[in-house]
Structure 1
Amino acid sequence: MKQYIILVFLALGYSFNLEAQTLTAYFKEAAENNPGLQAKYKSFEASMQRVTQVNSLPDANLSFGYFISPVETRVGPQRAKFSLTQMIPWFGTLKVQEDVATLMAEAKYQEFLEAKNKLFYQISAAYYPLIELERLVEIEKENIGILSSYKDIASVKFQNGKGAMVDVLRVDIMLKDASTNLSILEQKEQPLETRFNKLLNRAENTTIVIEDSLSLVSLSSAYGKDTMLISNPLITELELKIQASKASEQVAIKQGLPKLGIGLDYVIVGQRTDMSVADNGKDVLMPMVSVSLPIFRGKYKAAEKEAQLMEASYSLQKEEVANRLTSSYEMIWFELQKQSELIFLYEEQIKESNQSLRLLLSSYGNSGKDFEEVLRMQQQVLKYQKMKASSLSDYYIKMAELDYITAKAK
């Protein structure tokens, strides 16, 4: 199959470098300017900030108390009290929280990569119809030129008494059809250009450089299929979320363990004036240790169960995405083979139809008869030329879709 596709496109004479360079430049511009893609990247950057947040100790508590009625002690009355307390989660809690946040941030990055790949596919799907349109316009203009020459021939034949006036009228009818088709094709250019330019987030009337040839593509029989379920960002994103769910379960377990607290109390003591004692008016400094008692276990068990259910959900989603990608691959591959065969067929049909057309023209030049058959064959050549242009566009759009689901690097 690989050799067959290469031969088809070599026969059609397509160039690799020009098209690749143009699309690569457009991909780069879109990656820098597309607001949807930028939003995905900002979301990833925001999720990275979460890592620092969950890896930090909770805020320390500082409290101050003033004794309205001083508490008398041996060394003097207590006037005021400062307390500083820092709670510390159970050993390893911060680490697993950091792991969860890191994995979810990595999943966000895979979401960004998926958006980038999809954007590049959309750009390709908007680019190739522009090439197709340009080719269709050329074909229609060539057709109008040929029909105009046929009209001149038919007019001369009629004037010489070797042809019928109906032949001239037939060409007139076909010329009007061709002119209308050309007008419609030219009107189609603006919406296609607008769609393409907006993907790059630029003015809708910005000039688009369209190459007049497509790249030579060689495909193996299992192009990207062996790595598709490994490299696709959708699969990787869900795998990271599965790992994050497992880590979240550990977070729930850790949070259900006691939290340790260390603190320091500082009491301001006034001096006694009624008598002299040792350490008179000496302030009090008292270290403290506390432990939280997670007696009510319901919320911790619910958090564990939530993590387990999310893990199961992500696993099922991963399986569903894998099935969808596999079926999409097979359908896209079928379409590529189909379009390749059609392109080869149209090339042969164009060649044979042109040969028949030359014979019919020669016969008409001698006899002045069967002009209708000449026109019919000309329209057949036109039909195959247009179908070939459309098949080429469809082929490369499907090629871009295959690159999208197999996450081929751009």
Structure 2
Amino acid sequence: MTQFLQTAALATLLLLSAPTRALADEALPGASVESLLALAKANNPDYASMRFEAQAATERIAPAGALMDPKLRIEWMDITKAGSQNATLWPSDVGSTQYTLMQDLPWFGKRDLKKNIAAQEAQASQGKAQGSWTELAAKVKTTHAQRYYLHHTRQLTQELLDLSTRLAQLAQVRYAGGLAMQQEAIRAQLEQTALQTELVALQGESRQFDARLNALLARPSNAALAAPERLRPVPAAAKLDADALMTRVQYSNPQLFTEASRIKSAELGRDLSLKNRYPDFTLSITPTQMESRISEWSLMLEVNIPLQQASRRAEEREAQAMLSAAQSRRAATANQVASELTEGLAGLDAAQRTEQLARSSQLPQAELTFQAALAGYENGKLDFATLLDAQRQVRQAKQAQLKAQLEAQMRLAEIEKLLGEEL
């Protein structure tokens, strides 16, 4: 009876702990790229810094168009009343007190230009922040695809190692029965060792990519990650039309958006430099207090005289040169983006074709060849070298399919980075 109760209690504990373990596994990031992107967007410090910089640039818009703070000047005149009293600063006891309130006023339109320049710079900062996110997202997507490739390559290598173990046992049996030479058994063991060595290398490489992904997610480098379960589906051919994507890139690419904002900022800066040909003003009003009453009012208008025309012309030429530089940078960026998009689309198409050939032609043929070679070896009609060669062909076909999938995902991530959005 006691043994029965112990067994029942153990079974109950196992049943209760199974869902807990399942939930813990599900809580780990890494199974899908969507969960990784969400974590990266929330936690990555580089992207956070770019967002804060964009926010700071937005907060500069209002101050850029504001008037300067007014100034108050107080002057105590004849503080000893011609030597008839000790010095004092009490307004009613001095000869007179002047209160001057001054306000600097820029030429008409300058404030609006400065505000608009700050707004364009804020948009450029937002474009840089968006570009930072697309760059980060591309790294996350690429790293996830590489983890998926390594994970399934390890599984494939382990399967081949198990198969090689069975083939080595078969070779040993044939050698013991005098049906094969000792060299075949040794070669089978060498093949096992080679696969074991490769498995160790793959495990080390997987840990490196796990650490790289954890860094992107702002997690400890050795933090646990779930095994990658699936890759993102490649969009249909209709969504990969080169002309349509080229049009989308012109409007949504973060780099082009940033450069367009810089061009507008440079145009406004040139207009502001032309406005500097005209003077700025200072307006002031001065009430004068004598004893306990205001006895006089004064009004003053101050105008700076823009005599330094040579320096102003140099500033105007500088502003025009900055505008030309911004326009040239956008043209260069547009050419580069168009080239990278064309290259990415060509690479994606080639990867899809390669995967299709590997899945529908190369792999089935390699598997048929291996099955025929295995049957021939068991019947003594083929040597062990032919069987190993057939096994390698199966492996090469499966690896070609995985590599094509990895290449397609990397090209897709690059295209989406250029677009600045998901396909």
Instruction: Report TM bin, short chain.
Output: 0.7 to 0.9
- 1:21–1:372 CA distance, 2 compared to 1 (3 A): closer
In 2, distance between residues paired with 1:299 and 1:210?
Answer: 65
Deviation, structure 1 residue 372: 1.7
- 1:259–1:37 CA distance, 2 compared to 1 (3 A): same
Partner of 2:121: 104
Partner of 1:47: 57
Which residue of 379, 386, 394 corresponds with 2:399?
A: 386
In 2, distance between residues paired with 1:252 and 1:298?
Answer: 13
Deviation, structure 1 residue 150: 0.7
Q: Does 1:235 align with 2:252?
A: no
Q: Does 1:327 align with 2:348?
A: no
Which residue of 17, 20, 28 corresponds with 2:38?
A: 28
Please list the CA deviations of residues 295-352 of structure 1 after superposition, one character each: whole Å capped at 9, or x if unmatched: 2223332332222111100100011011111111222222112222222232221211
Deviation, structure 1 residue 368: 5.9
- 1:88–1:70 CA distance, 2 compared to 1 (3 A): farther
Alignment of 1:347-358 (within 5 A): 347=359, 348-358=361-371
Deviation, structure 1 residue 168: 0.9
Deviation, structure 1 residue 364: 1.8
- 1:150–1:333 CA distance, 2 compared to 1 (3 A): same
Alignment of 1:273-288 (within 5 A): 283-288=295-300
Deviation, structure 1 residue 21: 8.9
Deviation, structure 1 residue 258: 2.2
- 1:32–1:282 CA distance, 2 compared to 1 (3 A): closer
Deviation, structure 1 residue 282: 5.7
Partner of 1:226: 247
In 2, distance between residues paired with 1:312 and 1:233?
Answer: 20
Q: Does 1:311 align with 2:313?
A: no
The DSSP-based 3-state class of the residue aligned with 2:74 is: strand
In 2, distance between residues paired with 1:63 and 1:367?
Answer: 111
In 1, distance between residues paired with 2:416 and 2:279?
Answer: 52
Residue segments in structure 2 that go unaligned for 5+ positions in a row: 1-28, 83-92
Which residue of 139, 142, 146 corresponds with 1:129?
A: 146
Q: Is the 8 A contact 1:110 1:236 kept in 2?
A: yes
In 2, distance between residues paired with 1:262 and 1:333?
Answer: 63
Q: Which moved more, 1:78-87 or 1:38-47?
A: 78-87
Partner of 1:161: 178
Q: Is the 8 A contact 1:262 1:290 kept in 2?
A: yes
In 2, distance between residues paired with 1:209 and 1:188?
Answer: 16
Q: Does 1:120 align with 2:130?
A: no
In 2, distance between residues paired with 1:209 and 1:202?
Answer: 14
- 1:282–1:165 CA distance, 2 compared to 1 (3 A): closer
The DSSP-based 3-state class of the residue aligned with 1:163 is: coil
The DSSP-based 3-state class of the residue aligned with 2:103 is: strand
Q: Is the 8 A contact 1:78 1:267 kept in 2?
A: no
Q: Is the 8 A contact 1:151 1:172 kept in 2?
A: yes
In 2, distance between residues paired with 1:145 and 1:210?
Answer: 21
> RMSD value over aligned CA atoms?
2.3
In 2, distance between residues paired with 1:346 and 1:165?
Answer: 35
Which residue of 96, 102, 114 corresponds with 1:79?
A: 96
The DSSP-based 3-state class of the residue aligned with 1:283 is: strand
In 2, distance between residues paired with 1:226 and 1:49?
Answer: 32
Q: Which moved more, 1:210-219 or 1:356-365?
A: 210-219
Letter in 1 for 2:274: I
Q: Is the 8 A contact 1:162 1:368 kept in 2?
A: no
User: What is the TM-score with the length of structure 2 in the denominator?
Assistant: 0.84
Which residue of 36, 48, 67 corresponds with 1:57?
A: 67
Number of residue equivalences: 380
The DSSP-based 3-state class of the residue aligned with 1:86 is: strand
Deviation, structure 1 residue 221: 3.4
Q: Is the 8 A contact 1:163 1:369 kept in 2?
A: no
Letter in 1 for 2:204: Q
In 2, distance between residues paired with 1:197 and 1:93?
Answer: 49
Q: Is the 8 A contact 1:66 1:81 kept in 2?
A: yes
Residue segments in structure 1 that go unaligned for 5+ positions in a row: 1-18, 272-280
In 2, distance between residues paired with 1:110 and 1:369?
Answer: 65
- 1:46–1:65 CA distance, 2 compared to 1 (3 A): same
Letter in 2 for 1:213: R
Q: Is the 8 A contact 1:232 1:405 kept in 2?
A: yes
